[in-house]
Amino acid sequence: RLIIVTNPKMDHQAILEAAYMNIPVIAFCDSDSPMEYVDVAIPCNNKAKNSVGILYWFLTREVLRLRGGVSRAIPWDVKADLFFYRDPEEVEKAQAEAEGAAAAAGFEEVDAHALVDASAYAGSSDWADASNTWEGSAGQYQAPAGFDTATPEGY
């Protein structure tokens, strides 16, 4: 049994109860963190979320190496950003901004229902066939059976 604490100032109650039960405490400590009842202090910046994510990434990697799960000769391929918390609302907002930027640049999403099988226009499903060429006027190709040209989607 072991308790790992990110901020001893905020988690003082858990540290105090662990001391009553003789459970060792490892804490990520800043310069203003209280050290009372902390068994192992890891000096670090525990205020920034990216710093805390990197610290847990390092701690996880070292625990796996001590247990023999990961060799020190092989680089660890787990990315540190997997340990960062991402607010789902911020992720959705970033995706919406990316879609808006793509739309502003002139890129459009393709509607899958508007796509028509091009082999029906050529008369054959074999694209490698030499007779399937798109040269000439577009009027020489007939619409497939059941294709309604009056509706925008063609259905």
Calpha distance 38→41 (Å, rounded): 7
Q: Are 15 and 23 spatial neighbours (Cβ–Cβ below 8 Å)? A: no
Q: Are 74 and 56 in contact (CB under 8 A)?
A: no
Residue range 4-38, pLDDT digits in tens: 999 999 999 999 999 999 999 999 999 999 999 99
- How far apart (Å, rounded) are the C-alpha atoms in residues 35 and 32? 9
Tally of CA atoms within 13 A in the half-sphere of 96 that contains its CB: 6
Confidence of residue 155 (pLDDT cuts 50, 70, 90): very low
The 10s digit of each residue's pLDDT in 69-86 is 878 888 777 777 766 777
More confident residue, 77 or 121: 77
Q: Kindly give the residue spans of alpha helices, DSSP state H, lying in the chain.
A: 12-20, 49-67, 88-104, 119-122
Give, for 27, the enclosing helix (H) or strand (E).
Answer: strand 25-29
Query: pTM of the entire structure?
Result: 0.52
